[in-house]
Amino acid sequence: MTPSHKQRLVQGNEACVEGAITAGMRFYAGYPITPSTEIAELCSRKLPAVGGTFIQMEDEIGSIAAVLGASAAGMKAMTATSGPGFSLMQENIGYAAMAEIPCVIVNVQRQGPSTGVATAPAQGDVMQAIWGTHGDHPVVVLSPASVKEMYELTARAFNLAEQFRVPVVLLADEVIAHLRESVVLDRETLPFPIVQRKKPSVSPSQYLPFKADADGVPPMANLGDGYRSQFTGLVHDEAGFPSTRPEVVNSLIRRLHHKLEDNRQQIASFEAVHLDDAELVIVAYGSMARAAIAATRLAQERGLRLGVFRPVTLHPFPHEELVTAAARARAILVPEMNLGQLVLEVQRLTAGRCPVVGWSYVRGELPTPDLVLTQALRLLEAEEEYEDLLQLAALVRDDIVRPDWWLEQEWGA
């Protein structure tokens, strides 16, 4: 084995900060909360060295607000938090979506609800990350599964935020955030260039701050650039002035939605592991995907064909590829560290092409690959037994409503 001189041992939260700075983050506002705190601590040390600004705000509401103020004034800006703080941020995430202010929010998921277990991993914030703030709103949600991905996806989060003028949530979990891995992180190995926000090409007198280009995204003048920009969370016309006219409401809400939906192919991404010949597909994300991928290794040793479909973007979801995989598979297992959140999306998107069963693991720890494999085998057995898909669907529903259904029998959890 040849030692790699560029290889370093890096923690997930540290990789996140490095990815952010590589992407051009120069403003961080945050409030301490386990298990995301290392991100704030590192930003307070690293940002001044690159001419950036760090501020510890009085709460998470203030943190996201300061991030949006700084972004509107031209800075690439980020905050990081965990469940309780993410809940507090929801209203202003909606403001970011409505006023089209780019921002990156890192949520290192811990066991909830409420204070839960501060130091334990979970994946219970998937629905909140996608649908958390009120009203229909665009948001991109990314799910890192390794330290290297904490680096790359944080950088990509900034790219997406700046390109589409949307809030981007990096939905990490405690395992990945605190994990240290040997990695090579540098700008040269990033698989994409760094994106800067689109500036107006017209004079201030002709500038309409919310008139979109063909891609659905309006060019953005920063505060202080002389364009007399106006941001508001009210429904507004192309000039940024509030309006209650039905046609203005309709066109704004639809444009905000379509600027992501119409560019979904460009945004959505996933990883496929042994997917082509898999008779059973495991859809897993974040740290759970590591257990699922390891389960495919164990399965291979036993001559079983297991594959993993790992959505990297939880929203927008890479659904064409999932549908293709579902059409070939006998069944899909969706193991999650929650009571069944993304499984509902997988069921909706695959629309009965094959049985989709969730497995909930809510013990504040990552299940071992062996446990995931056991569930996969049980599902294959059940699929043979229940030829009638409706019967199996009932079983599936039951399992989601009472997610410990299998676990209790098998392990007395």
Partner 1 sequence: MMTTRAEKYLKTAKLPHIWCPGCGHGTAVNALLEAFERMGIDQDKVVIVSGIGCASRAVLYLNFDSMHTTHGRALAFATGVKLARPELKVVVLMGDGDGCAIGGNHFIHSARRDIDLTAIILNNSIYGMTGGQLSPTTPVGSSTATSPNGNLMRPFDICSLAKAAGATYVARSTTYHVAQLARYFQKAISHTGFSVVDVISQCPTTFGRRNDMADPVDMVEWERDNAIPLAKAQQLSPKELEGKIVVGEFVDGSQSNGNGRGDGPLP
Partner 2 sequence: MRREIRLAGTGGQGLILAGVILAEAATSEGFQVAQSQTYGPEARGGSSACSVVIDGEEIDFPEAEEPDILLVMSKEAAEQEIPKLKSGGVLICDSTYVKSIPPADASVHMVPISAIAKQQLGREMVANIVALGVLAELTGLLPHDALEGAVLARVPEKTKDLNRRAFAAGVAAAEKALQVRQSA
**Residues contributing to the site for partner 2 (CB under 8 A):** 1-4, 7-9, 118-119, 146, 175, 178-182, 287, 290-291, 293-294, 297, 365-366, 368-370
Residue 235 in contact with partner 1, rule: CB under 8 A: no
| Coil/strand/helix, residue 168 | strand
Min. distance of Cβ 368 from partner 2 in angstroms?
5
In three state form, how does the secondary structure of 171-182 look?
EEEHHHHHCEEE
Name, in order, each residue with C-beta under 8 angstroms of 259's C-beta and a sequence gap of 6 or more: 138, 164, 165, 166, 212, 215, 216, 217
CB atoms within 10 A of CB 241: 13
Residues 6+ apart with CB under 8 A from 362: 111, 122, 124, 337, 338, 339, 403
Nearer Cβ to partner 2, position 16 or 68? 16
Should residue 23 be labelled a site residue for partner 1 when binding is judged by CB under 8 A?
A: no
**One-letter amino acid identity for 270?**
F
In this chain, which of 33, 77, 284, 332 binds partner 1, going by CB under 8 A?
A: 77
DSSP letter at 402?
A: S
The answer to whether 127 contacts partner 1 (rule: CB under 8 A) is no
Q: Is 228 in the site for partner 1 (CB under 8 A)?
A: yes
Q: How far is the CB of 225 from partner 1 (least distance, A)?
A: 8
User: Residue ranges of the alpha helices (H) in 24-125?
Assistant: 37-46, 60-72, 83-99
| Binding-site member from 15, 25, 33, 67 for partner 1 (CB under 8 A) | 67
Asked if 77 and 168 count as a contact pair (C-beta separation under 8 A), the reply is: no
Nearest CB to partner 2, comparing residues 8 and 328: 8
Contact 29, 57 (CB under 8 A): yes
Q: What sign for the dihedral angle of Cα 205, 211, 216, 220?
A: positive
- Considering only 13, 15, 23, 54, the residue that binds partner 1 (CB under 8 A) is 54
Q: Which of 107, 189, 199, 207 is nearest to 162 (CA)?
A: 199
One-letter amino acid of 60: E
Per the CB < 8 A criterion, the answer to whether 96 and 80 are in contact is: no
Q: Which of 12, 19, 35, 62 binds partner 1 (CB under 8 A)?
A: 62
Tell me which of 9, 234, 327, 351 binds partner 1, using CB under 8 A: 234
Q: Does 113 bind partner 1 (CB under 8 A)?
A: no
Binding-site partner at residue 294 among partner 2, partner 1, none, CB < 5 to 8 Å by type: partner 2
182 binds, among partner 2, partner 1, none (CB under 5 to 8 A by kind): partner 2
Give the residue, chosen from 23, 75, 78, 400, that forms a contact with partner 1 under the rule CB under 8 A. 75
Q: How far is the CB of 53 from partner 1 (least distance, A)?
A: 5
69 binds, among partner 1, partner 2, none (CB under 5 to 8 A by kind): partner 1
Report CA torsion sign: 306, 312, 314, 318: negative
* Pair 80, 104: CB distance under 8 Å: no
Position 185, amino acid = L
Q: Does 106 interact with partner 1 (rule: CB under 8 A)? A: no
What gap in Å lies between CA 150 and CA 166, rounded to an integer? Answer: 19
Q: Which of 232, 265, 368, 391 binds partner 1 (CB under 8 A)?
A: 232
Q: Check: CB of residue 353 under 8 Å from CB of residue 328.
A: no
Q: How far is the CB of 14 from partner 2 (least distance, A)?
A: 12
**411 contacts partner 1 (rule: CB under 8 A):** no
The entry of partner 1, partner 2, none near residue 8 (CB within 5 to 8 angstroms by kind) is: partner 2
Q: Give the residue, chosen from 39, 43, 68, 331, that forms a contact with partner 1 under the rule CB under 8 A.
A: 68
List interacting residues with partner 1 (CB under 8 A): 27, 29, 53-55, 57-59, 61-63, 65-75, 77, 91-92, 95, 99, 223-234, 241-242
